[in-house]
Amino acid sequence: MASNRWLATGNYCTTYGEEQRIFATSLDRTFMCLFIVILFAWPLLFDVGSKYMLVIDNILIAVIAVIGLNLVTGFAGLISIGHAAFVGIGAYTISSFATVLGDRHMFITHGWPLTIVLAGCMGGGVGALVGLPAMRLKHLYLAIATLSFQMIFEWVVNFMDFFNQGQFIPVGRVHWVTGEVGRSDHYIFWYYVILVLVVLVSFGVRNLLRTRYGRCLVAVRDNDRAADAMGMHPGFTKVYAFGLAGFFAGVAGALHAYLSRGVGIDSFTLHYSINYLAMAIVGGLGTLNGAFWGPVAIKVLDLQVERLSEWAGNHLTTATNLTTALRPLSFGLVIVLFLMFEPRGIANWWRIARSYVKLWPFRY
């Protein structure tokens, strides 16, 4: 009788649900730890060329930038079309140090961890300033405001002699414990630096979203008036969302400057802002793991389309216009297809896979 009452009161269901939740959480943590170990170990086990290592480094840098964009667009529900400008703020902070002090100054080559943090703070400060209109503007008007900031950033860089009018500004090689990082170790060194920062940023944002500040982002996204009635401050929440996004973008820009050993305006145009937004959409807005899937998917697609364009240019000499338009056509087509058929992005596929593993091999 006791066991029957225990079943009838629903305690069994509660216990079973708790066991399923604990199992899913342990599964996520196990997969996360295993994935991090693989990321740290595989360059030591396999010989990867400099070309592919450069692509992987750029993907990881894009992950940091998209995490910041996801905080604004995915969690806070604010449209930002000028995210590449925030990345450029961080990169041109490094180039400003190189211009004033010299590209091989000790502050740049030996104090690079501090310069990366300063570049992030500069991006965060500018992001908070740009986020001030978000206190009054919404939707299309906010999108136009961020687009204006992107245009202003490009104009300032292209017409100021201090920034070499958008031309390439060199940045010296950094030093580590063993001395100067040489050309042969350049990409593998920055791979591990960027990977450590990706792990730290991911865990930091994951813990932030569990606090009241992270939940304020979601509340303001769903209904800012209801959030205001519940004691939250929608304006402050929107501003610090832009500030955090600008900080992560500034860090990504500083890493890009050191990885490329220089800064040029061509890497921070409106095209790259649309690219970051596409990564967030394809990966999955409002999800942390979507910030990983999106850059990987877009970068891999870009490489494959580039190979296809080269093949078409060599074999279909009469279809020159087709090969030129193949990359923007495929890029736009992927965004439209995801918006139509999978608006939750690739992160939704991961959620479905987790649900299947959680219930397998039992249906109930």
pLDDT (tens digit, 9 = 90+) per residue, 94-136? 999 988 888 888 888 888 899 999 999 999 999 999 888 877 7
- Predicted confidence at residue 69, as pLDDT, reads 92
Question: SS3 for 263?
Answer: strand
Q: Who wins on pLDDT, 298 or 325?
A: 298
What number is the average pLDDT over the span 345-364? 71
Q: What is the mean pLDDT of the chain?
A: 82
Instruction: With a cut of 50, say whether residue 10 has pLDDT above it.
Output: no
What number is the average pLDDT over the span 163-182? 85
**Among 34-43, 292-301, 311-320, 328-337, the range of highest mean pLDDT:** 292-301
Number of structural domains, the chain? 1
- Predicted confidence at residue 343, as pLDDT, reads 81
pLDDT tens digits for 51-66?
788 888 999 999 999 9
Q: Tell me, what CATH number does 271's domain have?
A: 1.10.3470
Is residue 360 very low, low, confident or very high in pLDDT (cuts 50, 70, 90)? low
Whether 132 maps to a domain, the answer reads: yes
Instruction: With a cut of 80, say whether residue 12 has pLDDT above it.
Output: no
- Would you report the helix, strand and coil content of the chain in percent, each value rounded to 5? 80, 0, 20
Give yes or no for a contact between 129 and 261, defined as CB atoms under 8 angstroms apart: no
Give yes or no for a contact between 154 and 165, defined as CB atoms under 8 angstroms apart: no
Instruction: With a cut of 50, say whether residue 72 has pLDDT above it.
Output: yes
- Predicted confidence at residue 182, as pLDDT, reads 80
Whether 37 maps to a domain, the answer reads: no
Whether 94 maps to a domain, the answer reads: yes
Q: Which range of residues forms the domain containing residue 94?
A: 50-359
C-alpha pair distances (Å), 44 with each of 36, 39, 199, 309? 14, 10, 19, 33
Whether 27 maps to a domain, the answer reads: no
Instruction: With a cut of 50, say whether residue 232 has pLDDT above it.
Output: yes
Q: Who wins on pLDDT, 320 or 358?
A: 358
Instruction: With a cut of 70, say whether residue 23 has pLDDT above it.
Output: no
Measured in degrees and rounded to the nearest 5, phi and psi for residue 10 equal 85, 5
Q: What token pair was written down for 232?
A: 């939250």
Whether 40 maps to a domain, the answer reads: no
- Predicted confidence at residue 211, as pLDDT, reads 87
Whether 232 maps to a domain, the answer reads: yes
Whether 22 maps to a domain, the answer reads: no
What number is the average pLDDT over the span 269-286? 89
Length, in residues, of the chain: 364
What number is the average pLDDT over the span 288-295? 87
What number is the average pLDDT over the span 19-46? 65
Q: Who wins on pLDDT, 292 or 352?
A: 292
Cα distance between residue 74 and residue 325, in whole Å: 30
Q: Which value, to the nearest 10 degrees, does the dihedral of the CA atoms of residues 263, 268, 271, 277 take?
A: 130
Pick from 68-72, 93-97, 212-216, 227-231: least confident = 227-231
**Among 32-46, 247-261, 297-311, the range of highest mean pLDDT:** 247-261
Instruction: With a cut of 50, say whether residue 186 has pLDDT above it.
Output: yes
Measured in degrees and rounded to the nearest 5, phi and psi for residue 175 equal -115, 145
Instruction: With a cut of 70, say whether residue 25 has pLDDT above it.
Output: no
Instruction: With a cut of 60, say whether residue 304 has pLDDT above it.
Output: yes
Pick from 147-161, 185-199, 232-246, 336-350: least confident = 336-350
pTM for the complete prediction? 0.85
Whether 10 maps to a domain, the answer reads: no
